[in-house]
Structure formats: structure tokens, C-alpha cells
Structure 1
Amino acid sequence: MLRYRGRHEPALPRIGCVTAGDADDLRRQFDALTSGAELSDLRQLFGNVAQIAGGFVKRTHNPHLRRPRRTEPVVLRVRVDLNDAEPPIWRRLDLRSDLTLASVHQVLQTAYDWSDSHLHRFSIGGDTFDMAAEWFLCEWEVEEGEDEGTPDTDVTLEETLVDPGDVLHYVYDYGDNWDLTIRLEEVIDLTDGTPAARCLEGERAAPPDDCGGLRDAEDLAEILADPTAFDVDDLNHRLVSPATGLADWGVRRELVDLLDQLIRTPVGGDLVARAVAISTPEVPDAETVRSHLAAYQWFLDRAADNGIPLTAAGYMKPAEVEAAAGVVPAASDWIGKKNREDLTVPILEFRQSLQQMGLLRKFKGSLLLTRAGKVAQRDAGVLWQYLADHLVDGSGDTFGAQARLLALLCLASEPKGAHERRLADALTHLGWRQRDGRPVSPDQGQWAIREVINLLGNVAEAPRDRPMPRSNRRALSPVAVLLINAALTSDG
């Protein structure tokens, strides 16, 4: 969600409802009074009515006028007009349909060269202060709770604009009232390499922030060096996401797509910088790879020799568990006899991870190599690349896949950092919520970090002879970090 650092205007008072018997008559009188009025006049009228009434009635319901999200994103070609500007001040934009309205807000700020220092909101079904419209509010208004509306971080553009002719309303700075009409002109198929936002054409320079709402040529000529100035190439240069070039540097496409969605959020710049830092990974030498994948190699070698026998309950037999505990680094600090797999959690979790990654399979009471496992078992370099390719879950639109991808990025760039809050904020900006509607919590971010550490904790040299300090037990080895780097710069 977007955090505002500049001055904030208080939310305007709203008139919510009247008694049923007076509603029709009051609407007719109100329509007669307000016909042709400017928004500033309406704002004053609302304030006067609220004072006379001794307060105001909050709107308690936000109509649901959105449509379902598309199964696949497209490009929405829109024309954006600054209302009542003379001559017109407009932009024609191609926007990805899966952009959140919070991201569209950032695009509009760039397109009109504003500073994002005031409140904003969107609406459909009426203008941004129409009581019958569905409102999409910026973070500050949501936190204040004075108006009933949906956070603009939770809504995508494709939910508001579906068919050519559909209109989305936007207002920025409730004092100057920079109100824009966004009209859908065309729906276009999305192709590889299509930017999230691109300007095709437009006319005239936009009014600057805090100029009092000026929007006609004569007034703007007094405060702008050239009111006719508009440079589409310059605008597109500013619209290009810094994440876009990461793909050319070898950063995994799934990660680039996530960062492209996050770049116009408060966490985006930091995450892009982290991706840049890991875009030229170091490759360890063959001996280092072999020594740090010894636990993996042990399981593959054991399974290659007639398989690893399992009990009737599906666990490894005690002798196998004891042998595995001698080579699996995560088991070195485990308390107990380490001869029952169900009671030796590090062994059980590691064995299950090898199955989940497609290296081992169960068959007739034994653990056997898969086809991929047979190839990896013969060459440590192949095993290294296989692990790199399979650290990232291919189902990129799920919470688990996106959480793991971002957790991998955080740990690759700063292995000992505290990333729980950063990860939770990023997932929230991607649209994920808890079941009760609250943002993703740091605890859920910690879960994703812990999952990666559990997965890669055995990319290490032989188990330790003595226990490590408790604070270091969950730390990844430098070679495990290199494996993450390889995963995030792999073609997958």
C-alpha cells in the first residue's frame, strides 16, 4: 500500500441517507440545487449541510460494481483526460489489465508529472464523490476509516474496465481537485515483453501541483514555461520499470514479473536493488559442489543400489535413518537416538523434500531414483543445476510460490537479514490477504523464510562434531546462498 509523506487533506463530510418517505423529494431538490455546480461548490454545500445538521451521516455501504478478474491478463488501451481542461490535456496509455489501481495511480502521477503528495481515490459507477459509486481509496483514507471504500491495492484495472467505453474516475488532491476520466478504448492481446505501462500519445503539459486547480491555457501560461509541451519519449522513459532490464541480465522471468508488479509500491525499489545484486552469481568449483551436496548424494547413491527399504508405515528403516543422520547436516543437533525417521524430523523432512523435487519416488516399499534422479546421481554438476531449477515452484500465481520466490531473493541478497516484515508487505502489495481480510502478517513472512532455510539447510559440508551456537543453527551456508543465486538467475 502507498504511504503518503506530504500534507493530507481531511476526508470530506458525506451525507449518507434520509428517511424513506423524504428520499425522492429530497433528491429532486438536491438535483435542482446542484445542477451544473462545480466540485468546489458541492464541497462547500456538503459542509454547510453538515454544519446545519450538527454533523453528518457516514456512508455505510460501498456498492460492489466491479467485474471478475480475467483468467489471463491483456492490455487495456485507455484515453485519460483532465476534466474541464481547455484545450484538452490528455494521454493515451496502454496498461496491463492486472495492474492494481494503486499502481495505476503511480502511472497517472508520472503521466501528469505530479508529486504524489496528496490523497487520491478511484471510482466506477459515478464520479469519485458520488454516493452511488463504488469507491477505491488510498491507504490513508482506508486507515482513517471516515469513508467506506475498498483499498485501491486490492483491485485490479481489469475489474473496473472491461468493455470499450467503460469509464474509471480518478481524483488527486482534494483541494486542487485534479479529476481525470479514464475511458477504455480497446482490449489488446498481451505479448511477451509488453511493458506494464506505455504512453502512445498525448497533448499539453499538465498543471503543476498546488497551483490552485488551474486548467485553462491562459492561466497555465502564467505558471508554465510552455503549456503546449509534451514529450511522449520522455514520459515512456520515466514509465519504464527498473525491473524490466533485469530479464536481460539473466534474472529469472517469474521474479522479474513479480518485481514489475511491485516496482510502484514502497517495497519495490528495495527488492529491485536486491535482484540487481544477485544478477551476476558466482559459480562454485566442482569440489565445493560435491562437498556441500554430500547429503543429497548419499540419498541418491543409496537409492541407486536396489532402493532404500521402507517400513510398512512408509518410513525409512532404523539402520538407514542412523546412517543418514551421519551425513545430513541438519540432523547433527537433533536430540535423541536418531534411529526412527518419524522421531528424527530433519531426516524425514529432507527425504520428503527429495521426493517433492522429483529426485526420489516410492515404489513397492522402497525409495527409488526417478529418471531425473538417475541423471543427477551420476554428476554433481547436474545435481546442482537440477536443484537450482527446482527451488522455484512453477505455479507462479499461488501464495506459496510467490512467497518462496521473494524469500529466496531476500536470503540471497542478505542471508542473515530480518526479512519478515519486508516479505509480508510485498505479498500484501501483490494482493494477498489473510482469511479475515487483514494484510499478510510478519509471521507468515517468517514461515516462507523458514521454509527456504529448512529446504537448503543441508547444502553444507559434513555434520558438525559439536553443536553450533543456537543463533547460528538456522543460518544458510555461503554455498547454499550461491545455489539460491543460481536458482534466481536460471531460465527455469
Structure 2
Amino acid sequence: MKDRHLRMVTDVESRPDLRHVRRREVVVYRLRVDIDHADPPIWRRIDVRSDVTLDFLHQVLQVAFDWTDSHLHRFSLGGDAFARDSQQFLCPYDVDNDDGWDDDDDGIPAAATRLDETLTEAGDLLHYLYDYGDNWELTIRLDQVLPAGSGCAAAVVVGGERAAPPEDCGHLVDAVSLAEVLPDPTRFEPERINKAFGGAYFVLREAGVDARLVDLVHQLTFTAHGDGLTAAALSLAGAPPDTTDVTASLRAFQWFLDRAEGSGIPLTGAGYLKPADVEKAAKVVPTMMDWLDFGKNNRETHCHPVLWFRECLQDLGLLRKNKGRLLLTKAGEAAQRDVDKLWEHLAGRLVPKAGDKFGMQATLLILAYAAASADSDLPFDTVAALLTELGWRFSDGRPVEDYALRRLPVWVVLTNVTDQPVTWRRRNAISPTAAALAHRALRG
């Protein structure tokens, strides 16, 4: 496996890098997009901001040509989508499943590539392939570079001709064939297309919502809970929920950071908090308020909310273990002195960056609902159902259940961002401050 990886890296490096340096200032690209080999021509003229990424452009093209994003796609520079000497920009499926292709078919994620890295001057060409079965090949030509006015839309259709072929029609591009599957092959409706650019996907991307969540919302649109998820996500395009006292709501976090200042928190030989610290922590960790009477149960292993909270602070990079003590990290030192830095650190670390795909998708969905759930309960069953729709199952085939979500760091954080005790009855409640933190995490 290691040898294979080395060979793949070599192949990627042997491909030409045809990307340009990003523009320093945003401009508007006037693009002419043609379906190759269409007779008569089927084309769209679209004004697109130069700073959009290719995954965003993909959605623009889907709307412009009345397609439904039901198939794979890719972009390419210097040749067609599978040419050996072209540079390819891949959809998420191809990125995640690149072992399914020949080694020389590797490319760069479209989501990580800006439009102005592929097109610079009038006449430059970018190729787009949609549906590896019907093979809709489109040529994108940069016609003009225009100034970007303040607040200009990310995409606007300004011209075009003829209706696009419908999905799964078998690559029909001539007028006679299209007349058999389209009620009016000459129909072109720019007003309707531009209205569609006001849909949830474009609103959320323009608002700066985490693109991974936007993709999930788009993917889940037509599921049983798609409308509710879209509504929750659209709340992110507005102002964050009001917060009253952030300091009071972060009291548990601050207690651990203050306790670890200096020489740190001493641990037992097994690496747990000592009983005296467990008792003190239990008085400030909100999720411990309805847990149990201590007596002899003042061990971290008997007080799971304290244990999970402490482990969560380590996962978030605020605390670290070293030689039998729990110490502040550099980020923890900064957060301990400044509650605003603590807030920003939590918001920036809630969503896993890589590796755990289930954890990433579950976290994004939890945050989306949390941001829209101030002073109400988070719909755990709905999040579990959406994750099941995405294909997640337990090893025995059972659908996702809510208990699989309750140990995720995001839930440990959100339930403890409050100035109120978290009782069993209020175990799913999202405080206004927690909702604001979720909003910040998805708009950071």
C-alpha cells in the first residue's frame, strides 16, 4: 500500500500544473458556455464572480442547463476530462474514491480551486463534463473581464439560446432528437434561471456558511427531513442569536483553564482527575447537575459528564496530559486569559477538519439545528435519520440512533455552554449562547 501511494504521488506530480495565480481583486467573468456538438448550438452566457470555487460553478451550470446534479462531474484544463495531459478538478465522489480510477486519473478537488485559477484572459477555455454515462461535455470560454460592483451577485445569466437536453436522455444534442423529448426545444428562460440562483444553496454559500454543510443540505433536499434541514440552515444566513452573558455560559470551561494555570492539574496514576477535583468540577459542569449524589462516587469514571467534558477539552486542544498532570496548551493559555479567544477557539475547533467523516457530517448537522434551536430542544431523532439517509448504519445494519451522537465533542460542548443546570428533562436543550456558538462555528 505504501508503494502504491508513492506511485500515485509521482503520477500526480508528473501532470502539468496549468493553474494561474489568483487575482488580487475580485472581478466579473463573462462566460460563454456551450454544450459541445449541439446542432443548433445550445449555450448560456453567464456573469460569474472570479473568486467562486469550481464546486460553486458546477451548481451554477446545473441550474443554467436545468439539470438536477444527479451524476458525477469534473472540470479540466488543457484538454478533455480524461486526457492524460490535462489538469483535472474532481467532484467529491472522485476525490473520495480515486482508487477506483487508473493512477494517472488523479486530480485536484474542484472545491479547493477558484475560477480565477483556471481562467485569466479573454479566450481562455475550461472544460466541464457532467454524467459519465450520457457524457455532456461543455466548453466554458472567458469572453470578457468586467469590473465587480459592490454587492454584485455571484452568478447571473445574461444570454443564451435553446433548451438544454433533459437528464438521462442518452446524449441527444441535435434538434430532431431533442424535439422528441422536449415540449419546446427553442425555449430559454433567463428570468426563471436567475430566480433559481436565489435558492438555498446559493444563499448559504453567499452568506459564508461552511461549504460542507451547504453540500449536505443540497444532498438531503429531497429526503423526508430535507425541508426542515433547509429551513434550519437558512437561519445561518441571518444574524446570530443574541447572547446575554458569554462568561457565565462558559463557566465550566473557564474553571478547568484556571485550575490548570501554572503547574497544572495533578492526575491519578491511571490518568484521571483526583477525587477532590472531581467534586469541584462537578459543581460547575452543567451536565452534572442532575447526575448523582456523590458519597463515595467521587471518581471520574463514576461521573461520566465530568470525564467526557475533560476529555473534550483535550480533544479541542485546550488541555494536554504531560507527566501525570493536565496542562494548558498554548491555545489554552490564550483562552484562559481572554474569554473572547476562548469563544473563537471553541467555534473554530468544533467541526473535525479531516479523518472522521461520520463525525464531521454529524457535527455539521447538529450545529445547523443547534444554531436554529435557541431555547428549544435539538431534534436528535431527525439528525440520526438524516445520517441514515446519507448511508450510515451500525455494523449490524440498524439505522443511526441518537445515542451514537451524544459522545461527540460538539454535543459535549453545546450542552455545557449554558448558565443553567442541565437536568434529565432539559438534556436536549440548546441555550441561546450555545445557539450563537453553533452559528459562529458554521460562519467562521
TM bucket (normalised to shorter chain) is 0.5 to 0.7
Counterpart of 2:386 in structure 1 is 425
Distance 1:396 1:98, change over 3 A: farther
Distance 1:168 1:454, change over 3 A: closer
Distance 1:376 1:217, change over 3 A: closer
* In 2: Cα distance, 1:236 partner to 1:257 partner: 20
The partner residue of 1:477 within 421, 431, 434 is 431
Residues 405-442 of structure 1, C-alpha deviation per residue, up to 9 Å, x if partnerless? 1111112213425343455436744xx4448797x934
* In 2: Cα distance, 1:276 partner to 1:121 partner: 23
The partner residue of 1:184 within 137, 141, 144 is 137
Is 1:489 the counterpart of 2:443? The answer is yes
Amino acid at match of 1:313: A
* In 1: Cα distance, 2:154 partner to 2:406 partner: 29
Q: Secondary structure at the match of 1:373?
A: helix
Equivalent pair of 2:377/2:428 in contact (CA under 8 Å): no
* In 2: Cα distance, 1:251 partner to 1:121 partner: 23
* In 1: Cα distance, 2:230 partner to 2:403 partner: 21
Equivalent pair of 1:290/1:380 in contact (CA under 8 Å): yes
Distance 1:413 1:446, change over 3 A: farther
Q: 1:228 deviation in Å?
A: 3.4
Counterpart of 2:268 in structure 1 is 311
Counterpart of 1:367 in structure 2 is 326
Q: 1:348 deviation in Å?
A: 0.8
Q: Secondary structure at the match of 1:347?
A: helix
Q: Secondary structure at the match of 2:425?
A: helix
The aligned length equals: 346
Alignment of 1:232-271 (within 5 A): 235=193, 238=196, 241-260=199-218, 262=220, 269-271=227-229
TM-score with structure 2 setting the length: 0.60
* In 2: Cα distance, 1:244 partner to 1:446 partner: 33
Counterpart of 2:26 in structure 1 is none
Equivalent pair of 1:79/1:93 in contact (CA under 8 Å): no
Counterpart of 1:299 in structure 2 is 256
Equivalent pair of 1:91/1:199 in contact (CA under 8 Å): no
* In 2: Cα distance, 1:312 partner to 1:155 partner: 46
Is 1:352 the counterpart of 2:311? The answer is yes
Residues 282-319 of structure 1, C-alpha deviation per residue, up to 9 Å, x if partnerless? 3424xx11222111111111111421101111111111
Counterpart of 1:330 in structure 2 is 287
Equivalent pair of 2:371/2:439 in contact (CA under 8 Å): yes
In the alignment, structure 1 segments of 5+ residues that lack a partner are: 1-67, 124-153, 171-180, 189-194
* In 2: Cα distance, 1:218 partner to 1:482 partner: 51
Counterpart of 1:376 in structure 2 is 335
Equivalent pair of 1:92/1:202 in contact (CA under 8 Å): yes
* In 1: Cα distance, 2:279 partner to 2:207 partner: 45
Amino acid at match of 1:380: V
Q: 1:487 deviation in Å?
A: 1.9
Residues 117-174 of structure 1, C-alpha deviation per residue, up to 9 Å, x if partnerless? xxx9989xxxxxxxxxxxxxxxxxxxxxxxxxxxxxx96699899798989576xxxx
Q: 1:345 deviation in Å?
A: 1.0
Q: 1:218 deviation in Å?
A: 12
The partner residue of 1:276 within 214, 227, 234 is 234
Counterpart of 1:58 in structure 2 is none
Counterpart of 2:404 in structure 1 is 447
Residues 168-199 of structure 1, C-alpha deviation per residue, up to 9 Å, x if partnerless? 576xxxxxxxxxx43436699xxxxxx99998
* In 1: Cα distance, 2:420 partner to 2:63 partner: 55
Q: Secondary structure at the match of 2:367?
A: helix
Q: Which stretch shows the higher mean deviation, 325-334 or 450-459?
A: 450-459
Q: 1:351 deviation in Å?
A: 0.6
* In 2: Cα distance, 1:238 partner to 1:437 partner: 42
Equivalent pair of 1:251/1:488 in contact (CA under 8 Å): yes
* In 1: Cα distance, 2:333 partner to 2:354 partner: 25
* In 2: Cα distance, 1:197 partner to 1:428 partner: 31
Distance 1:264 1:89, change over 3 A: farther
Equivalent pair of 2:378/2:428 in contact (CA under 8 Å): no
Amino acid at match of 2:338: D
The partner residue of 1:79 within 35, 41, 62 is 35
Distance 1:91 1:447, change over 3 A: farther
Is 1:411 the counterpart of 2:370? The answer is yes
Residues 228-248 of structure 1, C-alpha deviation per residue, up to 9 Å, x if partnerless? 343567536536753223344
Residues 315-351 of structure 1, C-alpha deviation per residue, up to 9 Å, x if partnerless? 1111111111122121222224342112211111111
Amino acid at match of 1:317: K
Distance 1:207 1:323, change over 3 A: closer
Equivalent pair of 2:154/2:206 in contact (CA under 8 Å): no
Alignment of 1:189-228 (within 5 A): 203-205=161-163, 216=176, 224=184, 228=186
The partner residue of 1:385 within 341, 344, 354 is 344
Equivalent pair of 2:66/2:164 in contact (CA under 8 Å): yes
TM-score with structure 1 setting the length: 0.55
Q: Secondary structure at the match of 1:457?
A: helix
Q: 1:352 deviation in Å?
A: 0.7
Q: CA RMSD in A?
A: 5.2
Distance 1:185 1:289, change over 3 A: closer
Counterpart of 2:109 in structure 1 is none
Q: 1:280 deviation in Å?
A: 0.8
Distance 1:168 1:223, change over 3 A: closer
Equivalent pair of 1:420/1:446 in contact (CA under 8 Å): no
Q: 1:208 deviation in Å?
A: 9.9
Percent sequence identity is 35
Distance 1:471 1:89, change over 3 A: farther
